[in-house]
A and B are shown apart, each in its own frame.
Chain A
Protein backbone atom coordinates (compact mmCIF):
# COMPACT_ATOMS: atom_id res chain seq x y z
CA UNK A 1 0.00 0.00 0.00
CA UNK A 2 1.24 3.46 -0.86
CA UNK A 3 1.53 5.94 1.96
CA UNK A 4 1.04 9.64 1.29
CA UNK A 5 4.03 11.96 1.56
CA UNK A 6 2.67 13.45 4.76
CA UNK A 7 2.37 10.04 6.37
CA UNK A 8 5.92 9.17 5.37
CA UNK A 9 7.20 12.50 6.71
CA UNK A 10 5.54 11.96 10.12
CA UNK A 11 6.61 8.33 10.16
CA UNK A 12 10.23 9.10 9.41
CA UNK A 13 10.39 12.22 11.58
CA UNK A 14 7.76 11.74 14.24
CA UNK A 15 7.10 14.92 16.26
CA UNK A 16 6.90 14.93 20.03
CA UNK A 17 7.68 11.30 20.77
CA UNK A 18 8.05 10.53 24.45
CA UNK A 19 6.37 10.60 27.82
CA UNK A 20 5.51 12.97 30.65
CA UNK A 21 5.11 11.88 34.25
CA UNK A 22 1.52 10.67 34.33
CA UNK A 23 1.21 11.45 38.04
CA UNK A 24 1.89 15.15 37.48
CA UNK A 25 -1.46 16.93 37.98
CA UNK A 26 -0.96 19.10 34.88
CA UNK A 27 -0.51 16.01 32.67
CA UNK A 28 -3.48 14.30 31.05
CA UNK A 29 -2.94 10.81 29.67
CA UNK A 30 -5.09 9.13 27.02
CA UNK A 31 -4.59 5.44 26.32
CA UNK A 32 -6.41 3.84 23.42
CA UNK A 33 -6.06 0.72 21.32
CA UNK A 34 -7.36 -0.42 17.95
CA UNK A 35 -8.55 -4.03 18.17
CA UNK A 36 -8.57 -4.45 14.39
CA UNK A 37 -4.78 -4.29 14.18
CA UNK A 38 -3.61 -4.36 17.81
CA UNK A 39 -2.17 -0.84 17.67
CA UNK A 40 -1.67 0.91 21.00
CA UNK A 41 -1.45 4.68 21.44
CA UNK A 42 -0.58 6.85 24.41
CA UNK A 43 -1.18 10.58 24.08
CA UNK A 44 -0.19 12.95 26.87
CA UNK A 45 -1.11 16.61 27.14
CA UNK A 46 0.46 19.21 29.39
CA UNK A 47 -2.34 21.57 30.30
CA UNK A 48 -1.90 24.93 32.04
CA UNK A 49 -4.23 26.51 34.63
CA UNK A 50 -6.30 28.17 31.91
CA UNK A 51 -7.05 24.88 30.20
CA UNK A 52 -4.63 25.56 27.36
CA UNK A 53 -2.49 22.73 26.02
CA UNK A 54 1.14 23.80 26.39
CA UNK A 55 2.79 20.65 25.17
CA UNK A 56 1.97 17.16 23.92
CA UNK A 57 3.81 13.87 23.61
CA UNK A 58 2.91 10.48 22.22
CA UNK A 59 4.06 6.93 22.08
CA UNK A 60 2.47 4.61 19.55
CA UNK A 61 3.04 0.99 18.67
CA UNK A 62 1.44 0.55 15.32
CA UNK A 63 1.63 1.01 11.58
CA UNK A 64 2.87 4.12 9.74
CA UNK A 65 -0.62 5.62 9.59
CA UNK A 66 -1.15 5.22 13.33
CA UNK A 67 2.21 6.84 14.08
CA UNK A 68 1.54 9.66 11.62
CA UNK A 69 -1.95 10.26 13.04
CA UNK A 70 -0.66 10.56 16.59
CA UNK A 71 2.34 12.65 15.57
CA UNK A 72 0.04 15.01 13.68
CA UNK A 73 -2.37 15.52 16.58
CA UNK A 74 0.47 16.37 18.98
CA UNK A 75 1.27 19.26 16.63
CA UNK A 76 -2.34 20.28 16.20
CA UNK A 77 -3.34 20.36 19.87
CA UNK A 78 -0.50 22.59 21.04
CA UNK A 79 -1.80 26.07 21.94
CA UNK A 80 -5.42 24.94 21.76
CA UNK A 81 -7.86 24.91 24.65
CA UNK A 82 -9.08 21.46 25.67
CA UNK A 83 -12.47 22.32 24.16
CA UNK A 84 -10.88 23.13 20.80
CA UNK A 85 -8.74 19.99 20.95
CA UNK A 86 -11.84 17.94 21.67
CA UNK A 87 -13.31 19.12 18.39
CA UNK A 88 -10.61 17.49 16.26
CA UNK A 89 -12.24 14.65 14.36
CA UNK A 90 -10.91 11.57 12.63
CA UNK A 91 -12.15 13.03 9.34
CA UNK A 92 -9.85 16.06 9.52
CA UNK A 93 -6.93 13.81 10.50
CA UNK A 94 -7.51 11.32 7.70
CA UNK A 95 -8.02 14.12 5.16
CA UNK A 96 -4.81 15.87 6.17
CA UNK A 97 -2.85 12.62 5.87
CA UNK A 98 -4.79 11.32 2.85
CA UNK A 99 -5.40 8.00 4.60
CA UNK A 100 -6.92 5.21 2.52
CA UNK A 101 -10.23 3.72 3.78
CA UNK A 102 -8.50 0.70 5.36
CA UNK A 103 -6.50 3.08 7.56
CA UNK A 104 -9.37 5.24 8.79
CA UNK A 105 -9.28 3.37 12.10
CA UNK A 106 -5.84 4.92 12.73
CA UNK A 107 -7.37 8.40 12.65
CA UNK A 108 -10.23 7.22 14.88
CA UNK A 109 -7.58 6.02 17.30
CA UNK A 110 -5.94 9.46 17.37
CA UNK A 111 -9.28 11.25 17.84
CA UNK A 112 -10.21 8.91 20.69
CA UNK A 113 -6.78 9.39 22.27
CA UNK A 114 -7.42 13.15 22.53
CA UNK A 115 -10.85 12.49 24.03
CA UNK A 116 -9.44 9.95 26.50
CA UNK A 117 -6.76 12.44 27.57
CA UNK A 118 -9.38 15.15 28.08
CA UNK A 119 -11.47 12.73 30.18
CA UNK A 120 -8.39 11.96 32.25
CA UNK A 121 -7.77 15.69 32.75
CA UNK A 122 -11.34 16.23 33.92
CA UNK A 123 -11.24 13.28 36.27
CA UNK A 124 -8.03 14.61 37.83
CA UNK A 125 -9.63 17.91 38.78
Chain B
Protein backbone atom coordinates (compact mmCIF):
# COMPACT_ATOMS: atom_id res chain seq x y z
CA UNK B 1 0.00 0.00 0.00
CA UNK B 2 3.03 2.27 0.11
CA UNK B 3 4.55 4.30 -2.64
CA UNK B 4 1.36 4.66 -4.67
CA UNK B 5 0.40 8.06 -3.39
CA UNK B 6 2.21 9.88 -6.14
CA UNK B 7 -0.02 8.40 -8.85
CA UNK B 8 -2.33 10.88 -10.47
CA UNK B 9 -6.02 10.02 -10.85
CA UNK B 10 -5.58 8.79 -14.40
CA UNK B 11 -2.68 6.52 -13.43
CA UNK B 12 -4.63 5.29 -10.44
CA UNK B 13 -7.40 4.20 -12.80
CA UNK B 14 -4.94 2.88 -15.36
CA UNK B 15 -6.02 5.41 -17.98
CA UNK B 16 -3.99 7.47 -20.38
CA UNK B 17 -4.02 11.19 -19.67
CA UNK B 18 -6.82 12.14 -22.08
CA UNK B 19 -10.07 14.03 -21.77
CA UNK B 20 -12.26 11.29 -23.22
CA UNK B 21 -13.15 8.85 -20.48
CA UNK B 22 -15.52 5.90 -20.65
CA UNK B 23 -17.57 6.40 -17.50
CA UNK B 24 -18.93 2.87 -17.59
CA UNK B 25 -15.46 1.37 -17.75
CA UNK B 26 -14.14 3.49 -14.90
CA UNK B 27 -17.14 2.54 -12.77
CA UNK B 28 -15.92 -1.05 -13.02
CA UNK B 29 -12.34 -0.04 -12.16
CA UNK B 30 -13.70 1.98 -9.25
CA UNK B 31 -15.45 -1.04 -7.77
CA UNK B 32 -12.33 -3.20 -8.20
CA UNK B 33 -10.12 -0.59 -6.58
CA UNK B 34 -12.49 -0.04 -3.68
CA UNK B 35 -12.58 -3.78 -3.04
CA UNK B 36 -8.78 -3.96 -3.10
CA UNK B 37 -8.31 -1.16 -0.58
CA UNK B 38 -11.32 -1.81 1.63
CA UNK B 39 -10.23 -1.13 5.25
CA UNK B 40 -11.91 -4.36 6.44
CA UNK B 41 -9.34 -6.31 4.45
CA UNK B 42 -6.64 -4.87 6.64
CA UNK B 43 -8.38 -5.59 9.95
CA UNK B 44 -5.59 -7.95 11.01
CA UNK B 45 -2.69 -5.88 9.82
CA UNK B 46 -2.51 -3.24 12.49
CA UNK B 47 -3.61 0.32 12.85
CA UNK B 48 -1.12 1.84 10.47
CA UNK B 49 -2.13 -0.37 7.55
CA UNK B 50 -5.77 0.24 8.30
CA UNK B 51 -5.30 3.98 8.35
CA UNK B 52 -3.49 3.80 5.03
CA UNK B 53 -6.37 1.79 3.63
CA UNK B 54 -8.86 4.42 4.75
CA UNK B 55 -6.78 7.15 3.10
CA UNK B 56 -6.40 5.11 -0.06
CA UNK B 57 -10.11 4.43 -0.18
CA UNK B 58 -10.84 8.16 0.12
CA UNK B 59 -8.37 8.91 -2.63
CA UNK B 60 -9.93 6.34 -4.94
CA UNK B 61 -13.29 7.92 -4.25
CA UNK B 62 -12.01 11.45 -4.98
CA UNK B 63 -10.43 10.21 -8.18
CA UNK B 64 -13.65 8.58 -9.33
CA UNK B 65 -15.80 11.64 -8.57
CA UNK B 66 -13.34 13.80 -10.51
CA UNK B 67 -12.92 11.48 -13.49
CA UNK B 68 -16.59 10.78 -14.06
CA UNK B 69 -17.58 14.47 -14.14
CA UNK B 70 -16.32 16.10 -17.36
CA UNK B 71 -15.99 19.58 -15.92
CA UNK B 72 -14.14 18.43 -12.79
CA UNK B 73 -12.01 16.18 -14.98
CA UNK B 74 -11.06 19.13 -17.20
CA UNK B 75 -10.23 21.26 -14.15
CA UNK B 76 -8.11 18.45 -12.75
CA UNK B 77 -6.25 18.00 -16.04
CA UNK B 78 -5.46 21.71 -16.07
CA UNK B 79 -4.29 21.68 -12.45
CA UNK B 80 -2.04 18.68 -13.19
CA UNK B 81 -0.44 20.74 -15.94
CA UNK B 82 0.07 23.73 -13.70
CA UNK B 83 -2.86 25.86 -14.86
CA UNK B 84 -4.87 27.43 -12.06
CA UNK B 85 -8.23 28.55 -13.44
CA UNK B 86 -8.87 30.94 -10.50
CA UNK B 87 -12.60 30.48 -10.49
CA UNK B 88 -13.10 32.72 -7.47
CA UNK B 89 -10.69 35.50 -8.28
CA UNK B 90 -10.79 36.07 -11.98
CA UNK B 91 -13.86 37.31 -13.80
CA UNK B 92 -14.67 36.35 -17.35
CA UNK B 93 -14.56 39.31 -19.73
CA UNK B 94 -15.69 38.08 -23.10
CA UNK B 95 -18.40 40.57 -24.15
CA UNK B 96 -19.83 38.40 -26.97
CA UNK B 97 -20.14 35.33 -24.79
CA UNK B 98 -21.54 37.29 -21.86
CA UNK B 99 -24.04 39.12 -24.04
CA UNK B 100 -25.27 35.74 -25.20
CA UNK B 101 -25.48 34.56 -21.58
CA UNK B 102 -27.49 37.66 -20.74
CA UNK B 103 -29.86 36.89 -23.61
CA UNK B 104 -30.25 33.29 -22.48
CA UNK B 105 -31.14 34.50 -18.99
CA UNK B 106 -33.64 36.98 -20.41
CA UNK B 107 -35.21 34.26 -22.55
CA UNK B 108 -35.56 32.02 -19.50
CA UNK B 109 -37.16 34.86 -17.59
CA UNK B 110 -39.65 35.43 -20.42
CA UNK B 111 -40.43 31.72 -20.69
CA UNK B 112 -41.03 31.61 -16.93
CA UNK B 113 -43.55 34.42 -17.15
CA UNK B 114 -45.53 32.82 -19.98
CA UNK B 115 -48.80 31.06 -19.57
CA UNK B 116 -48.30 27.33 -19.19
CA UNK B 117 -49.06 25.30 -22.28
CA UNK B 118 -47.75 23.98 -25.58
CA UNK B 119 -46.04 27.19 -26.61
CA UNK B 120 -44.11 27.34 -23.36
CA UNK B 121 -43.19 23.66 -23.65
CA UNK B 122 -41.85 24.21 -27.15
CA UNK B 123 -39.77 27.19 -26.09
CA UNK B 124 -38.33 25.22 -23.19
CA UNK B 125 -37.44 22.36 -25.53
CA UNK B 126 -35.72 24.64 -28.02
CA UNK B 127 -33.92 26.48 -25.23
CA UNK B 128 -32.67 23.18 -23.89
CA UNK B 129 -31.48 22.19 -27.35
CA UNK B 130 -29.52 25.39 -27.86
CA UNK B 131 -27.68 25.18 -24.56
CA UNK B 132 -27.00 21.48 -25.06
CA UNK B 133 -25.52 22.14 -28.49
CA UNK B 134 -23.33 24.94 -27.22
CA UNK B 135 -22.21 22.88 -24.23
CA UNK B 136 -21.32 19.94 -26.49
CA UNK B 137 -19.28 22.27 -28.73
CA UNK B 138 -17.29 23.48 -25.74
CA UNK B 139 -16.58 19.94 -24.54
CA UNK B 140 -15.55 19.00 -28.05
CA UNK B 141 -12.90 21.75 -28.01
CA UNK B 142 -11.55 20.56 -24.67
CA UNK B 143 -10.55 17.16 -26.09
CA UNK B 144 -7.65 18.62 -28.06
CA UNK B 145 -6.89 21.72 -26.00
CA UNK B 146 -6.31 19.79 -22.78
CA UNK B 147 -3.59 17.48 -24.04
CA UNK B 148 -1.62 20.03 -26.00
CA UNK B 149 1.97 20.81 -25.14
CA UNK B 150 1.38 24.49 -25.96
CA UNK B 151 0.76 26.76 -23.01
CA UNK B 152 -1.64 28.82 -25.16
CA UNK B 153 -3.88 25.80 -25.72
CA UNK B 154 -4.03 25.11 -22.00
CA UNK B 155 -4.94 28.71 -21.32
CA UNK B 156 -7.67 28.46 -23.93
CA UNK B 157 -8.85 25.26 -22.28
CA UNK B 158 -9.09 27.20 -19.01
CA UNK B 159 -11.30 29.80 -20.72
CA UNK B 160 -13.52 27.04 -22.11
CA UNK B 161 -13.82 25.51 -18.63
CA UNK B 162 -14.80 28.89 -17.23
CA UNK B 163 -17.44 29.29 -19.95
CA UNK B 164 -18.78 25.82 -19.22
CA UNK B 165 -19.44 26.98 -15.66
CA UNK B 166 -21.89 29.47 -17.11
CA UNK B 167 -23.46 26.81 -19.33
CA UNK B 168 -23.96 24.60 -16.26
CA UNK B 169 -25.56 27.50 -14.46
CA UNK B 170 -27.98 27.92 -17.38
CA UNK B 171 -28.99 24.29 -17.28
CA UNK B 172 -29.47 24.53 -13.48
CA UNK B 173 -31.69 27.56 -13.99
CA UNK B 174 -33.63 25.73 -16.69
CA UNK B 175 -34.13 22.81 -14.35
CA UNK B 176 -35.37 25.15 -11.66
CA UNK B 177 -37.86 26.67 -14.07
CA UNK B 178 -39.10 23.25 -15.12
CA UNK B 179 -39.64 22.32 -11.49
CA UNK B 180 -41.83 25.37 -10.90
CA UNK B 181 -43.94 24.47 -13.92
CA UNK B 182 -44.49 20.83 -13.03
Contacts and interface: CB of A to CB of B under 8 A. Distances in A.
A88 B95 CA distance: 21
A61 B89 contact: no
B135 interface: no
Contacts of A108: 89, 91
Given A36-B87, A105-B88, A105-B89, A31 B102 contact: yes
Contacts of B91: 32-35, 108-109, 112
Nearest to B89: A108
Interface string B71-105: 00000000000000101111111010111011001
Given A40-B166, A112-B93, A35 B99 contact: no
Contact of B165 (A36, A42, A59, A61): A36
Contacts of A35: 85, 87, 90-92, 161-163, 165-166
A33 B87 contact: no
Interface residues of B, number: 24
What DSSP secondary structure best describes chain B's contact surface? helix
B14 interface: no
Interface string A20-39: 00000000010111111111
Contacts of B170: 38
A58 to B, nearest CB: 12
Interface in A15-71: 29, 31-40, 42, 59, 61
B12 to A, nearest CB: 28
B43 to A, nearest CB: 41
B169 A37 contact: yes
Contact of B92 (A32, A42, A59, A104): A32
A7 interface: no
A116 interface: yes
A31 B99 contact: yes
Interface in A71-123: 104-105, 108-109, 112, 116
Contact of A32 (B98, B169, B172): B98
B168 interface: yes
B166 A38 contact: yes
Nearest to B169: A38
A104 B89 CA distance: 9
Contacts of B165: 35-36, 38
Interface of A: 29, 31-40, 42, 59, 61, 104-105, 108-109, 112, 116
Given A31-B93, A31-B99, 10 more contacts: A32-B93, A33-B97, A34-B92, A35-B91, A36-B87, A36-B165, A61-B101, A61-B102, A105-B88, A112-B93
The 4 closest A-B pairs by CB, nearest first: A38-B169, A35-B162, A31-B98, A35-B165
